[in-house]
Amino acid sequence: MIRENSIKLSLSYAVASKVKDYSQLMKFNLTFMVVFSSVVGYLLVPGVEFSLIKIVELFAGGLLVSGSANTINQLIEVETDKLMKRTAVRPLPSGRVSENEARVLAFATAISGVLIMAWAFNWLSAGLSLLSLVVYAFIYTPWKKWNSMAVLVGGIPGAMPLLIGWAAGANELGAGGWSLYALQFVWQFPHFWAIAWIGHNDYKTVGFKLLPNGSEPNRMVAIQAVMYTFLLIPLGFLPYLLGVSGGISAIIVLLATLFFLYRAINLYRKCDAPAARKLMFGSYIYLTIMQLALLADKVHNI
């Protein structure tokens, strides 16, 4: 009996460890945020009402596709990850998961995720999901070692979740969907530059070029972060002007943008890692407030 219980405990531990490793490969926390954006984009479509079944299907498809992209990213960067303290403990560089095992996981999750999007919604959202995976995993990932245009390239799939959600609900890429895409696309520049500022030493060690013109953290980087954040002010009014959301949300988004802009200006003033960290967290606060405000003030009839 004792031996039998010991075997069961060992098996349970092994399964739990494997689930944890797969979760880290798929970057579950990051993937959850990505899929949340897709759900917001879906629910913002005029005529689309909340359906728990549809939300679960969208979460399932999005989690699988985004998780596959993250797994492929780590497969490509396994040697790079070994050189950085922050990433050396990941499942692949630490040897807890083999590369073949990760390849099977990436393939299975990509195929199943795309098929769920096609079956539950439409082929447009499925195609956009696949496009996002390909650009992120196979173009953006290696581009990080070429030049700082990687941030621009990475912005293409990075802004896709809202558009994928919109396509899932509308089965078309309307002006409303593109306005959401524009907001998240521009948001990524100050967001990623803040992250690149904080992790500059690690990134420089492995040859990642994520700051503008491959430069060091300096005021020129900070002023560009300010400029892109400022662009969010006019872009924030597009959902209102296009009838996606109401005037109250436009005001809330404006206030959130001004807060985000303040954090960017603070980086320009101080030019240090703590200010960059505040900008990074400010970017998350802005994105959350922006999406929830638009959703809460959705215009149901256009």
Q: Tens place of pLDDT for every residue, the chain, 302 residues?
A: 555 555 555 556 566 788 888 889 998 888 888 899 999 999 999 999 999 999 999 999 999 999 999 999 999 999 998 888 888 889 999 889 899 999 999 999 999 999 999 999 999 999 999 999 999 999 999 999 888 899 999 999 999 999 999 999 999 999 999 999 999 999 999 999 999 999 998 888 888 888 987 678 999 999 999 999 999 999 999 999 999 999 999 999 999 999 999 999 999 999 999 999 999 999 999 999 999 999 999 987 54
Residue whose C-alpha is closest to residue 249's, from 285, 290, 286: 290
Q: Torsions phi, psi of 252, nearest 5?
A: -65, -45
Residue 198 near residue 221, CB atoms below 8 Å: no
**Rounded to whole angstroms, how far apart are CA atoms 8 and 51?**
39
Q: Which pLDDT score, from 0 to 100, does residue 11 have?
A: 59
Q: Which pLDDT score, from 0 to 100, does residue 75 have?
A: 95
**Rounded to whole angstroms, how far apart are CA atoms 79 and 196?**
19
Q: Which pLDDT score, from 0 to 100, does residue 265 have?
A: 97
Residue 9 near residue 145, CB atoms below 8 Å: no
Q: Which pLDDT score, from 0 to 100, does residue 3 have?
A: 58
**Rounded to whole angstroms, how far apart are CA atoms 78 and 178?**
35
- 274, burial (CB in 10 Å: exposed 0-12, middle 13-18, buried 19+): exposed
Q: Which pLDDT score, from 0 to 100, does residue 209 have?
A: 86
What does the block give as tokens for 9? 């405990």
Q: Which pLDDT score, from 0 to 100, does residue 7 have?
A: 58
Q: Which pLDDT score, from 0 to 100, does residue 248 have?
A: 97
Residue 224 near residue 278, CB atoms below 8 Å: no
Would you mind telling me the total number of residues written for the chain in this entry? 302
